[in-house]
């Protein structure tokens, strides 16, 4: 062995040791490794830095942008809503729907995004049917991890393997090269959780309550028939009048919440707002009083409003929150009219909860008491400003999170994604070109803002992949990959190609429990390819084996982000992960390796 070969092998071992210690950020380690390879002359600077211009970088960045657009425009939520329609029928139906949807979404979305999206829905339905969340969240996280192997774009590590395979053989993997093995893996996990594994899912309720849904808030404050829309007709005597001058509040007891003008924008109701024809007023009040006001002022009643409608407004307009009156508040003993609540805080009060009593009528005359909980609505910056004078405290912010809303851009986003997949499948465009084109189309059409697109890209992953690719190149150029491959062959002289495949697979699966799957893919793929070529076997099954082994981090919660997300709400311990992870991994490994051996070797 040459000095460069020895240096590369030592650097490989040191990299694995430092990354597994988790004391230094993996992206920093990767960049230091790249620097050492450049300074040592093993990899020329041009080749090392060119790693950041590899097609895999464009693909990874594009996939992050596409995933963020799918989440924010509500495409993923459209699918998640199907769970709520059928999930309340029972645990088995809910679990099946949850796992199917997770598998489908993670074929094109980041697993952590999918878990973050579906976990609130799962928790909400679990509360409705009195089911412990721990019986749902671990299956969700596991399937979200395994489902990333249904397509090549499911996770960046898949793309790393394909990129290295293309550099060595000239033939990258196709978009659906992993789909058959992925379906078998998903099927194994689903069967486990639906049949034998269900008895091992513990029934532990979380210690802390979850954020209430809008349905629960509406029910708690008895707002089912309190919020209404009123359209200003052409003959209304309110046209040209300021809201302050109207008698909607004083005579009919209506609380004016917001006004949607002809430009389509919804704005908080202000006393100096001049009403125009076709303005849409959103008010709270008794249904009879609403009808009287509509008849008196020639307004058209457009039906009741669900609280979720407030979450369909522009991000910069109105939000819901619950605020509480602390015991030392200067507002205690004063009416809402006396403190000019709307003028003082810029917020509307929809209802007040005092102990178990809900107060919705004649709110201006309500005298505030300690511990009153006010359901308020108004601009987000006004809600954030509550509490500065210590007279009110924000208890619950009910603002929607990304992905909660189904926007008008959802259909367009879905169409762009479908066009990208069609272009790749039919061979009209390579995956890097198609993903970049799709990302640009989403930005140009307004499905996602440019700033949000930038923020959606995980720079740490980009740096990690770019820093590790030169090490993969060094393993190939110095012959270190061949040395390691020959070492594995020497250890498995009597078990042939299949035995070598199994050893490479298990080695990658063990390493991925302590370091990132993208790193494992970058390190193990050149070794696996060399191992195949030395024995005269096709490299593709060895590359596929690395893909599935590198993504086996879900066996433990050490490096799998999906498992970490559900750990606290599911009250899981290491024993819970191993109880399910080890049997599923054993069955999955048998299926994957068996299929690879049957069809490839």
**Is residue 575 packed enough to be buried (19+ CB in 10 Å), middle (13-18) or exposed (0-12)?**
exposed
Q: pLDDT per residue over 375-433, tens digit each?
A: 887 777 788 888 788 889 888 777 655 556 677 888 899 899 889 878 877 878 877 88
What is d(CA 162, CA 167) in angstroms, rounded to the nearest whole number?
A: 9
- Cα gap 256→278, rounded to integer Å: 16
Q: Say how far apart CA 510 and CA 59 lie, in whole Å.
A: 27
Triad 411, 415, 417: Cα angle to 5°: 120
Length of the chain: 601
Residue 420: in which H helix or E strand, if any?
Answer: helix 410-425
User: Mutual orientation of helices 480-491 and 459-477 as an angle, nearest 10°?
Assistant: 80
Q: What is the pLDDT at residue 313?
A: 47
* Per-position b or e across 393-431, b if 16+ CB within 10 A of its CB: eeeeebbbebbbbbbebbebbbebbebbbebbeeeebeb
Q: How far apart, in whole angstroms, are the C-alpha atoms of residue 372 and residue 332?
A: 9
Q: What are phi and psi of 288, to 5 degrees?
A: -65, -40
> What's the pLDDT tens digit per position in 61-83?
887 888 788 778 877 677 666 67
Q: Are 234 and 303 in contact (CB under 8 A)?
A: no
Q: Please, what's the b/e burial string for 53-67 (b: 16 or more CB within 10 A of its CB; e: otherwise)?
A: ebbbbbbbbbbbbbb
Mean pLDDT of the chain: 83
**Residue 507 token pair:** 């080695």
Torsional class of 399: left (φ above 0), alpha (ψ -120 to 50), beta (otherwise): beta
Residue ranges, the chain, pLDDT below 50: 313-316
Provide the CATH topology of domain 318-397: Alpha-Beta Plaits (3.30.70)
Digit-coded pLDDT (tens) for 555-598: 887 667 788 778 777 888 888 888 999 999 999 999 999 999 98
In the numeric block, which tokens belong to residue 222?
């008895």
Question: Do strands 280-284 and 227-232 pair parallel, antiparallel, or not at all (unpaired)?
Answer: antiparallel
Where are the domains positioned within the chain?
214-312, 318-397
DSSP 399: P
Instruction: With beta carbons less than 8 A apart as the criterion, state whether 142 and 187 touch.
Output: no
CA atoms within 13 A on the CB side of 317: 16
Report how far residue 440's alpha carbon sits from residue 147's, in angstroms, rounded to the nearest whole number. Answer: 26
Instruction: State the angle between helix axes of 496-511 and 517-534 in degrees (0 to 180), rounded to the nearest 10.
Output: 170
Decide: residue 518, CB within 10 A, 0-12 exposed, 13-18 middle, 19+ buried.
buried
Backbone angles phi, psi at 284, to 5 degrees: -115, 145
Q: How far apart are CA 393 and CA 380, in angstroms?
A: 15
Tokens describing residue 39: 């300074």
Task: Give me Rg for the CA atoms of the chain.
Answer: 29
Q: What is the DSSP letter of 194?
A: H
Angle at CA 293, nearest 5°, toward 289 and 294? 115
Residue 17: alpha-carbon gap to chain centroid = 31
Q: How many CB atoms lie within 10 A of CB 126?
A: 24
Phi-psi region of 351 (alpha: psi -120 to 50; beta: other; left: phi over 0): beta
User: Would the CATH topology of 214-312 be identical to that of 318-397?
Assistant: yes
Report the distance separating Cα 120 and Cα 465, nearest Å: 31
Cα(481)–Cα(216) distance, rounded to whole angstroms? 59
- CA angle (29, 34, 35) in 5-degree steps: 95
- Token readout for 478 is 């110095």
Q: Contact at 8 Å (CB) between 376 and 354?
A: no
Q: Give the 3-state secondary structure percentages of the chain, helix then strand then coil, rounded to 5.
A: 60, 10, 30
| Cα angle for residues 189, 178, 501 (degrees, 5° grid) | 85
- The second-level CATH assignment, the architecture, of 214-312 is 2-Layer Sandwich (3.30)
């Amino acid at each position: 062995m040459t000095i460069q070969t020895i240096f590369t092998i030592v650097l490989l071992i040191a990299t694995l040791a430092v990354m597994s210690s988790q004391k230094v950020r993996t992206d920093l380690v990767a960049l230091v490794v790249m620097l050492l390879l450049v300074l040592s002359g093993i990899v020329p600077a041009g080749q090392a830095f060119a790693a950041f211009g590899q097609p895999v970088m464009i693909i990874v960045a594009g996939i992050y942008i596409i995933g963020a657009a799918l989440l924010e425009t509500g495409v993923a939520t459209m699918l998640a809503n199907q769970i709520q329609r059928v999930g309340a029928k029972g645990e088995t139906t809910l679990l099946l729907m949850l796992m199917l949807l997770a598998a489908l979404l993670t074929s094109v979305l980041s697993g952590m995004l999918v878990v973050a999206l579906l976990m609130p829905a799962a928790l909400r339905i679990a509360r409705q049917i009195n089911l412990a969340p721990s019986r749902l969240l671990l299956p969700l996280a596991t399937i979200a991890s395994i489902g990333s192997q249904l397509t090549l774009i499911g996770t960046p590590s898949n793309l790393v393997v394909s990129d290295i395979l293309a550099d060595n053989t000239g033939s990258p993997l196709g978009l659906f090269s992993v789909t058959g093995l992925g379906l078998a893996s998903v099927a194994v996990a689903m069967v486990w959780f639906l049949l034998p594994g269900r008895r091992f899912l513990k029934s532990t309720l979380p210690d802390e309550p979850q954020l209430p849904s809008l349905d629960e808030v509406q029910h708690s404050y008895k707002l089912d028939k309190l919020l209404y829309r009123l359209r200003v007709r052409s003959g209304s005597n309110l046209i040209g009048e300021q809201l302050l001058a109207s008698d909607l509040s004083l005579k009919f007891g209506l609380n004016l919440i917001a006004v949607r003008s002809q430009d389509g924008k919804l704005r908080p109701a202000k006393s100096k707002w001049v009403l125009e024809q076709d303005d849409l007023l959103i008010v709270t009040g008794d249904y009879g009083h609403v009808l009287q006001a509509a008849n008196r002022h020639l307004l058209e009643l457009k039906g009741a409003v669900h609280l979720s409608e407030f979450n369909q407004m522009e991000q910069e307009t109105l939000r819901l929150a619950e605020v509480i009156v602390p015991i030392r508040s200067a507002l205690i003993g004063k009416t809402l009219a006396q403190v000019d609540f709307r003028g003082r805080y810029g917020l509307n009060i929809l209802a007040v909860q005092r102990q178990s009593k809900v107060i919705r009528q004649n709110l201006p005359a309500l005298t505030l008491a300690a511990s009153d909980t006010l359901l308020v609505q108004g601009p987000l910056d006004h809600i954030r400003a509550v509490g500065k004078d210590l007279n009110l405290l924000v208890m619950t912010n009910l603002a929607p999170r990304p992905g909660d809303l189904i926007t008008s851009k959802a259909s367009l986003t879905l169409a762009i994604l479908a066009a990208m997949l069609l272009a790749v499948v039919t061979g009209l465009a390579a995956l890097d070109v198609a993903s970049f084109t799709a990302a640009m189309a989403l930005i140009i059409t307004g499905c996602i803002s440019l700033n949000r697109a930038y923020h959606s890209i995980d720079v740490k992953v980009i740096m990690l992949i770019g820093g590790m690719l030169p090490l993969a190149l060094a393993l190939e150029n110095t012959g270190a990959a061949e040395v390691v491959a020959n070492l594995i062959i020497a250890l498995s002289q009597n078990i042939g190609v299949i035995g070598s495949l199994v050893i490479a697979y298990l080695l990658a699966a063990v390493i991925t429990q302590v370091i990132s799957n993208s790193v494992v893919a970058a390190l193990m793929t050149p070794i696996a390819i060399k191992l195949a070529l030395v024995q005269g076997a096709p490299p593709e099954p060895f590359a596929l084996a690395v893909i599935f082994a590198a993504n086996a981090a879900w066996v433990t919660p050490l490096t799998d982000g999906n498992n970490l997300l559900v750990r606290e709400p599911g009250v899981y311990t290491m024993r819970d992960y191993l109880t399910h992870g080890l049997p599923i991994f054993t069955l999955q490994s048998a299926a994957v390796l068996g299929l690879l051996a049957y069809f490839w070797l």
